[in-house]
Chain A
Amino acid sequence: MKRSPITALLLTVFSLLVPVYGYFLWSKKILPAPASLHGTGIDAMIKYSMVCTGLMLLAGHVVLAVFIWKYSRQDRATIGRVAGKTEWRWALLPLILMTVVAEGGVLVIGLPVWKQLHVTGKPGEAVVIEVVAQQFQWSFRYPGPDGKFGETGLKYATDYDLIGVNRKDPAGKDDLVQTAVLTVPAGKLIHLKMKSKDVIHSLFLPVQRVKQDVVPGMVISTMFTPTKTGKYDILCTELCGLGHYKMRGVLNVLEPAAYEEWLKEEAEE
């Protein structure tokens, strides 16, 4: 039988290099650390999956490398068919591993984080802000001192108010509309109520680990608590047309006192 020692050697080395390359990529952190309460939970979930699957990947590739190296050098198979029972017994290994790694990870780490994103706090506890997406602009509306959002309509929209608040509606009089910049207080639960005027968009706050599709015809809520002040990018992550890639917004996280001051200033304008 024809031997291929060079191919065997290359394959063995390559099998071992794959996990090394994976580890190299994982070790380079470009994304900033999470700046929200639940964000650390999401990172923990990703890290847990990465460590578990990384170890399995390494083990699998070492076994593969050994098998290729060893069994490409023998002229004839040394093992025949094994008993069915032995096969089923071996299947327990992936069964237990995947149950613990995949399902266990979800139940222990994943579920509590998922809950944080979808359970609204007690009434009045959260800062409620309306998010309105349209091609290719984000608008944000604050209810003002009365805590109520006024009526909106296409006919009321202006260059400064893309949402189109009816200023004659008593609830809408004090509504504050902002374009592109979402200003929020740090350390408070933020409740975003999201709508779209045209197609599906998706609000992505990478550093806060928030992502939620904004679907026309629906009002979708998402909750998060920012922990660090500063200015961060807002991206759109659902293909929404030509300007999808530059539908940029800014998340401005202020200290609570500075936030209150900002609200007052904006209301006066």
Chain B
Amino acid sequence: MSNHEQHAPLGFWRKYVFSLDHKVIGLQYIGMAVVMALLGSGLAMIMRIQLAWPGAKLSWLGKLFPNAFPEGLLAPEHYLSIITMHGTVMVFFVISLALVSGFGNYLIPIQIGARDMAYPFLNALSFWVMVPACLVMIASFFVEGGAAASGWTAYPPLSALKNAVPGSQWGQTLWLLAMALFIVSFTMGGLNYVTTVLNLRAKGMSLMRMPLTIWTMFIAAIIGLVSFPPLTAAAIMLLFDRHGGTSFFVPAGLSIAGKPVMHDGGTPLLWQHLFWFLGHPEVYVLILPGLGITFEILATHARKTVFGYKMIVWCLIVIAVLGCVVWGHHMFVSGMNPWLGEFFTIGTLIITIPSAIIGLCMLATLYGGSLRLNAALLFALGTLALFGTGGFGGVFLGNATSDIFLHDSYFVVGHFHFMIGGVTLFATLAGLYHWFPKMFGRHLNEGLGKIHFWLSILGFYGMFLTMHFVGINGAPRRYYDFKAYKMLEGLQTYHLCITISAFTFAVASIIFLLNVTWSLWRGKKAERNPWDATTLEWVAPSPPPHGNWDGPDPVVHRWPYDLSTHAGAKDFAMQTEGPDKAPVTS
């Protein structure tokens, strides 16, 4: 791949839009995720206003969207569409896109010493399938009945029968189409990741010399390839149930509002199994790369080798394998066989062991280090803290006995926001502060970065730690309001606190976007290796050209965490430095 003619200068369209360069595609993914994040967070804000001040009139929204907000009042059907779309957009079209597709595409080739992905065209195709997936998802807001309203889990029969809820008309159909497109795109990306990592590593880059970011992306891609296709199948089956007259998920003898339903022979539990067969591994597809990025940043900015590198790799593999066989812990109260429930409980709780080891390794990586408390490290420390706190919530939910009470309550909402919301988002932000100089040749503003961090972490704990206890006190999720229940009245202050925290978080995010915009043009110029980091991308110019390195192909002589192992003036050795510069330890 050292042939520079493959990476000749191109015109604007081929360079920035229909590009085959993995870095441009990575940034396109991140850009698309930012746009979708604006939508997803906007929906969250409307949801939070309703929950803090039930029945509040928002005249400005009423003027903007007279159909959705008659006289500024949010109707229950739109509340359901909003929670459904918030969940779907955030999980699949923000976190997956930014963290796995965005950072994955940007970092995999450049960190393993390849000049591009194994299949650059497939890579571009994967992005251009994701664009219609996003557009179809957004379009569902504008069809009759509004966007899908059966929750991001889309349990049938609610999602199968058109008259079960207004969002189950065309909105649900578009939702299913968008999800199928998403998985098609994600599968193409995953194939590319696995092939690239296995075949295109630079000379000397053995598997055990790969940065943990690459390990986690590699494992996440494999999990994705194993677990995502069943949902494509399920989505197509549900489409057939909705439009083709089949009955995969709808049993006989049902009636909606007194009218008989013309289906028979299916079972709703089949969908739940297929959905969670994707849904649970999806959590690891998102969290693992977040952990990899965090290790990378903790090591670089604490000037320390990663503690327990080999152990971490093995833990990741164990988590990946177990993560694919414990989906049933989402179904403890679903009517599944109780014996199966105990099997899934014991399996799920085994995962706490490798997870706790990873947490310990993160903490131990800081031990004896020299912490540079910049925005990147702050967000990485935040990820570490959220991973611990959120992980402990899993001990409650993975256990069938406590899950009976906590299932479908705000405890669950708090827990998964810590894990697939917090760990992943904080890792993404840490990654952006860390790699922005490489991506754009300029630094993000540190002062604004710190303000961003503090407002974010305060807002985050205010929202989601509080939610755990709203759930422990009995409040179910997906409720439009709680007025009917006297026993839940005492929780209204909590809801108010959560909403205020949510707005704090929103302000933080606006500050971040302003910082990005300003820094793209006015930020401090970055050198090749501003952080004294060790991995291969820091050998390339900032930003790297098409083809990544201006010189010959990089050759790797050591593992990626040779920090604090050398006595000279320089406390690190880059992966490309030969044994003549510093002794090779691994």
Interface residue ranges, A against B (CB under 8 Å):
1-2, 4, 7-8, 10-11, 14-15, 18, 21-22, 25-26, 28-32, 41-42, 45-46, 49-50, 52-53, 56-57, 60-61, 63-64, 67-68, 71-72, 74-82, 84, 87-88, 90-91, 93-95, 97-99, 101-103, 105-106, 109-111, 113-114, 117-118, 134-135, 154, 157, 197-200, 202, 204, 206-207, 209-218, 220, 233, 235-246, 248
Interface residues on B, range: 35 or more
Query: Is A98 touching B352 in the complex (CB atoms < 8 A)?
Result: yes
| Known contacts A68-B381, A80-B565, A81-B305; is-contact A53 B252 (Cβ 8 Å) | no
A94→B311 CA distance, assembly (Å): 13
Provide the B323-365 mask, 1 if CB < 8 A to any CB of A, else 0: 0000000000111001001100110011011001101110110
Closest Cβ of chain A to B453, distance in Å, is: 9
| Residue contacts A-B, CB under 8 angstroms, 29 given | A15-B385, A18-B385, A18-B461, A25-B465, A30-B487, A30-B488, A31-B472, A31-B474, A46-B396, A46-B402, A46-B405, A53-B396, A57-B388, A76-B370, A77-B564, A94-B357, A98-B352, A102-B349, A110-B401, A134-B255, A135-B257, A154-B255, A206-B474, A213-B333, A217-B268, A218-B251, A239-B80, A245-B76, A245-B480
Q: What A residues does B158 contact at CB under 8 A?
A: 199-200, 239-241
Query: Is A77 touching B333 in the complex (CB atoms < 8 A)?
Result: no
Contact pick for B360, options A14, A94, A110, CB 8 Å: A94
| Known contacts A71-B368, A199-B157; is-contact A211 B405 (Cβ 8 Å) | yes
Q: What B residues does A71 contact at CB under 8 A?
A: 302, 366-371
In the complex, whether B429 has a CB less than 8 A from a CB of chain A is no
Q: What B residues does A102 contact at CB under 8 A?
A: 349, 352-353, 395, 398-399
| Known contacts A200-B158, A202-B408; is-contact A218 B399 (Cβ 8 Å) | no
Query: Is A245 touching B346 in the complex (CB atoms < 8 A)?
Result: no
In the complex, whether B484 has a CB less than 8 A from a CB of chain A is yes
A76→B572 CA distance, assembly (Å): 11
Contact pick for A90, options B360, B381, B388, B407, CB 8 Å: B360
Contact pick for A10, options B345, B454, B488, CB 8 Å: B454
A64→B457 CA distance, assembly (Å): 15
Closest Cβ of chain A to B147, distance in Å, is: 14
Closest Cβ of chain B to A58, distance in Å, is: 11
A237→B485 CA distance, assembly (Å): 13
Q: In residues 253-305 of chain B, which contact A (Cβ within 8 Å)? A: 253-258, 260-261, 266-269, 302-305
Closest Cβ of chain A to B352, distance in Å, is: 4
Contact pick for A11, options B256, B373, B481, CB 8 Å: B373
Q: What A residues does B533 contact at CB under 8 A?
A: none
Query: Is A81 touching B565 in the complex (CB atoms < 8 A)?
Result: yes
Instruction: Give me 18 other A-B pairs in contact (C-beta within 8 A), A8-B373, A237-B407 excluded.
Output: A25-B466, A25-B469, A30-B488, A71-B367, A71-B371, A72-B373, A93-B360, A106-B399, A198-B256, A209-B405, A211-B407, A213-B335, A215-B335, A216-B250, A217-B251, A235-B485, A239-B478, A241-B165
Query: Is B303 touching A77 in the complex (CB atoms < 8 A)?
Result: yes
Query: Is A49 touching B402 in the complex (CB atoms < 8 A)?
Result: yes
A18→B388 CA distance, assembly (Å): 12
Most-contacted residue by chain B among A15, A56, A109 (CB, 10 A): A56
Query: Is A216 touching B308 in the complex (CB atoms < 8 A)?
Result: no
A2→B370 CA distance, assembly (Å): 11
In the complex, whether B531 has a CB less than 8 A from a CB of chain A is no
| Known contacts A1-B372, A18-B385, A110-B399; is-contact A90 B364 (Cβ 8 Å) | yes
Query: Is B341 touching A114 in the complex (CB atoms < 8 A)?
Result: yes
In the complex, whether B490 has a CB less than 8 A from a CB of chain A is yes
Query: Is B311 touching A87 in the complex (CB atoms < 8 A)?
Result: yes
Q: What B residues does A30 contact at CB under 8 A?
A: 473-474, 487-488, 490-491
Q: What A residues does B374 contact at CB under 8 A?
A: 4
Q: What A residues does B457 contact at CB under 8 A?
A: 14
| Known contacts A87-B311, A245-B482; is-contact A63 B363 (Cβ 8 Å) | yes
A87→B476 CA distance, assembly (Å): 43
Tally of A-B residue pairs with Cβ under 8 A?
Answer: 307
Closest Cβ of chain B to A218, distance in Å, is: 5
Q: What B residues does A74 contact at CB under 8 A?
A: 370
A74→B371 CA distance, assembly (Å): 8
Query: Is A198 touching B345 in the complex (CB atoms < 8 A)?
Result: no
In the complex, whether B378 has a CB less than 8 A from a CB of chain A is yes
Q: What A residues does B251 contact at CB under 8 A?
A: 216-218
A14→B396 CA distance, assembly (Å): 25
Closest Cβ of chain B to A247, distance in Å, is: 9
Query: Is B333 touching A202 in the complex (CB atoms < 8 A)?
Result: yes
In the complex, whether B563 has a CB less than 8 A from a CB of chain A is yes
Query: Is B356 touching A94 in the complex (CB atoms < 8 A)?
Result: yes
Query: Is B384 touching A64 in the complex (CB atoms < 8 A)?
Result: yes
Most-contacted residue by chain A among B261, B478, B490 (CB, 10 A): B478
A31→B357 CA distance, assembly (Å): 35
Q: What B residues does A204 contact at CB under 8 A?
A: 476
Closest Cβ of chain B to A56, distance in Å, is: 7
Contact pick for B484, options A10, A103, A246, CB 8 Å: A246
Query: Is B76 touching A7 in the complex (CB atoms < 8 A)?
Result: no
A68→B384 CA distance, assembly (Å): 12
Q: What A residues does B308 contact at CB under 8 A?
A: 87-88, 90-91
Q: What A residues does B399 contact at CB under 8 A?
A: 45, 49, 102, 105-106, 110
Closest Cβ of chain B to A144, distance in Å, is: 23
Provide the B111-136 mask, 1 if CB < 8 A to any CB of A, else 0: 00000000000000000000000000
